[in-house]
């Protein structure tokens, strides 16, 4: 990843407008900032959330709170707890997330 043409800045995530995205169950609450081609998000999944699609977008994801289960289309499942992260390239391995307890994430894609 190369980051170009972004001046130094500070983000107060509590001041960023929140958007709601429904899952099969539960919802995802996104606070999103875009910096050129780079999207940066603070995302909260409500308890019981299950994504409504297999995602093919690349991400770097850090679990801040809660517990996140990420399932790959090939059946493998990974559990992230606070302080854990994952990374995946665009179109590399379709994945979807779910959480029983809820989770808060910091995502760069």
Helix H, strand E, coil C: the string for 77-92 is EEEECCCCEEEECCCC
Residue 4: its pLDDT value, please? 82
Distance between CA 79 and CA 31 in Å, rounded?
23
Q: Which residues contact 52 (CB under 8 A, 6 or more apart)?
A: 22, 23, 24
Indicate the pLDDT class of residue 40, thresholds 50, 70 and 90: very high
Which has the closest alpha carbon to 96: 61, 3, 106, 33? 61
The per-residue pLDDT for 53 is 95
Give pLDDT tens digits for 44-102.
999 999 999 999 999 999 999 999 999 999 999 999 999 999 999 999 999 999 999 99
Query: Exposure string (b/e) for 13-24, b if CB count within 10 Å is 16 or more?
Result: eeeeeeeeeebe
19-108 CATH: 2.60.120.10
pTM: 0.92
For 60, the token pair is 């770097």
Question: Can you give the pLDDT at residue 3?
Answer: 82
């Amino acid at each position: 990843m190369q980051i170009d043409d972004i001046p130094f800045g500070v983000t107060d995530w509590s001041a960023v407008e929140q958007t709601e995205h429904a899952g099969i169950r539960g919802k995802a609450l996104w606070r999103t900032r875009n910096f050129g081609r780079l999207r940066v998000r603070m995302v909260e999944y409500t308890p019981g959330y299950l994504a409504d699609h297999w995602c093919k977008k690349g991400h770097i994801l850090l679990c801040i709170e809660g517990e996140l289960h990420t399932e790959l289309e090939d059946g493998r499942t990974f559990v992230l707890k606070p302080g854990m992260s994952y990374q995946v390239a665009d179109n590399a391995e379709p994945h979807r997330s779910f959480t029983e307890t809820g989770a808060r994430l910091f995502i760069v894609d």
